Amino acid sequence: MSDNNHPYVQEMEPGKYAWCSCGKSQNEPFCDGAHKGSDLAPIVVEITEKQKVAWCGCKKSKNAPYCDGSHSQL
């Protein structure tokens, strides 16, 4: 499981992205299929315009896949 207690802030181009919800991906914050065999699945989002995104790194956000500051409570 991810022990990343900060968001991944990235400038994102338009497109579909699969955010890793399991914390096992070698391509954090994005899914690489490492969740296979578990009950977890990525959250797929579509970004329609170039923008800065704060992807959740701690996997505790109540607004997944986006950071809501939950990492500050860990």
pLDDT at 17: 98
pLDDT at 64: 97
How many Å apart are CA 53 and CA 28, to the nearest integer? 14
> 4 pLDDT exceeds 80?
no
Q: Is 67:56 a contact under the CB 8 Å cutoff?
A: yes
pLDDT at 55: 98
How many Å apart are CA 74 and CA 64, to the nearest integer? 16
* CATH architecture of the domain with residue range 1-57: 3-Layer(aba) Sandwich (3.40)
Position with higher pLDDT, 49 vs 6: 49
User: pLDDT by residue (tens digit) across 27-56?
Assistant: 999 999 999 999 999 999 999 999 999 999
Q: Is 18:65 a contact under the CB 8 Å cutoff?
A: no
What ranges in 1-74 are assigned the alpha helix state H? Answer: none
User: pLDDT by residue (tens digit) across 8-22?
Assistant: 999 999 999 999 999
- Ranges of each domain in the chain: 1-57
